[in-house]
Amino acid sequence: MNSLKGKRLEGKTAVITGATTGIGFATAELFLAHGAKVIITGQSQERLNSAVEKLRGDNTGYSVHGVLADVRSIEQLSSLAETTRKLFDGHLDILFVNSGVLGKGVPFEDMDEQEFDFTMDTNFKGAFFTVQKLAPLLSSGSTVIFDLSTAHNKPRAPYPVYAASKAAGRSLLRSLAVHFAPRGIRVNAVSPGPVPTDLVKLAEDPAELAKRFAASAGATLLKRAGKLEEIAQTVLFLASDESSYLTGTDIFVDGGLSA
């Protein structure tokens, strides 16, 4: 994973929500390889333990901890903040707000309140309060990164609530970039295009979803799906000092799909 010379996050601390698989896990791997101390979160203790074990591997010098937290729970987010404070001596350099769900692919007319709330509570409300609860640990030079989606700019049926939740996240990052600027804290986002993650695989009927996913990948200018490592590399850039003049920015990593 460490294909670049030098460790770009040496000595920095990072929290990555929803990082037992997918983009979050790939980003945690990269952060650790670049010298960061990392906390990952998940909703299953078994998956957390497995993810931490894989991330450590044979690298005894890696500092990685798993914390059980559902972003829909304010109480659990408060507990995450307190655990982070203790593990990182009260300071957090990088917050990657990665937790999210695709939700069920149903037409607008068939969307029910329960599914609407589940998607919005995870993707938008969860993101909002994740930042709010961990904000006291941020200081000048810290950075917040949202994992959004090109869907907020180029929605595809039948995911109207998913697209709306990501559009709300895009608006939130702009507001927070303004809010945190006086404190020297940067807020940016990465918006992936079609990337094969467990979030996608578990969303609905596998065959139908595979068909839609293939169509999205074929619609990109590069005519392929993205790789987890390609998204993680962009998050690494936003987390590092190399992006020190970027805030309020949403980087589309989508193979040209939005073009």
The tokens describing 250, both together, are 């949403």
**Annotated catalytic residue, options 62, 159, 162, 245:** 162
- The Cα–Cα gap between 158 and 112 comes to 14
8 Å CB contact between 39 and 95: no
- Start-end of H helices in 121-227: 126-134, 160-180, 198-201, 206-219
- Look up 162 and say whether it is catalytic: yes
Find the radius of gyration of the CA atoms of the chain: 17
Give one word for 250, left, alpha or beta, with left for phi > 0 and alpha for psi -120 to 50.
beta
DSSP run (H or E) holding 33: helix 22-33
Catalytic center residues? 162
